[in-house]
Structure 1
């Protein structure tokens, strides 16, 4: 029997408070699509949204590098890096391994004092930036600098 005093309500079960949010969708998607991914991307509201998205896609290796285009059978004359021509262009090469990118990271290291020793992936560089300094503002500033550096390398490569 139906009682007229009861009101139906919508409840979003993946949200912590029963409310729908884009954040809960992102968490659900990341946990189902990439369960092995220990990395949690911190969205930095001090940088444009497009910078956050690019960095997130770089961590997931979902950018159109020449290596990825080749996997998708896009005809390209060469998969070598257009800047150094020393290795196949992958996300890690573009942002970390290319000598040109390494020079940029050295400038960021000297300017900000961020120790990138033993950071060989985009994910590690971003995670390292979140450990700089004692307070939230320093961490967020360092993170913003690293995210914008990744964006700049992408736009210039």
Structure 2
């Protein structure tokens, strides 16, 4: 004889008993035979205890998508979940300037999230290099922050832009302060957009010069 749920032999449970979902007593009474001893009996006692504590729901069973506030699957919610997991969040909205080419906007996005192949980033990916020093100044390890905001040979570019536009340089020279530089200067809205485009071009210029200095590599 075959065994049913929990190792019990088929007990002739009537389908009509499943209709009254809020009555565990009626559900248990619907079993034709009750085991008297052994493992089946202990399992039967466990089943009785579990059913007494279980609260049946009147709502039909259905799948709930927890990534969406309405519980319904959507490609948008899946994409947002993957983006937050793979890309992380910087806490700052992505900047996009229509005055420059798309590739400049994308480069700035990659720089801001440290997604460019500097020597320290390549080392973290187990890529062997002859040296980790910045190929421009040859002083310290080449990180994204160093290359664009603190390299002694490249930083003068930011000061020249400040003199050209007649605006002060950021108090602290970091990638974050340079990316948001246009937000802090005393210019009208249209001039800020142009100044922001100039900053993007400066980032692109530094990266292009870097590639010329280092030769062909992963980009």
Alignment equivalent of 2:88, drawn from 34, 52, 56: 34
Once the two structures are superposed, the pairs formed by residues 1-157 of structure 1 within 5 Å of their partners are 31=84, 33-35=87-89, 37-157=90-210
- Change beyond 3 A, Cα 1:28–1:91: same
More off after superposition, 125-134 vs 103-112: 125-134
Mapped contact 2:170–2:178 kept (Cα < 8 A): no
List per-residue Cα deviations over 1:30-79 (Å, max 9, x = no partner).
655424x2211220010110000001100000000000000001111001
List per-residue Cα deviations over 1:96-115 (Å, max 9, x = no partner).
11011211111111111232
Question: How far does residue 26 in structure 1 lie from its aligned partner after superposition?
Answer: 8.7
Question: How far does residue 28 in structure 1 lie from its aligned partner after superposition?
Answer: 6.7
Q: What TM-score, normalized by structure 2, do the two folds share?
A: 0.56
- Give the whole-Å Cα distance in 1 for the aligned partners of 2:148 and 2:160: 14
- Secondary structure in 2 aligned to 1:130? helix
Question: How far does residue 25 in structure 1 lie from its aligned partner after superposition?
Answer: 9.6
Mapped contact 1:51–1:148 kept (Cα < 8 A): yes
Mapped contact 1:114–1:129 kept (Cα < 8 A): no
Mapped contact 2:145–2:175 kept (Cα < 8 A): yes
Higher-RCO chain (CA-CA 8 Å, sequence separation at least 6): 1
Number of positions where the alignment pairs a residue of Structure 1 with one of Structure 2? 137
Mapped contact 1:132–1:138 kept (Cα < 8 A): no
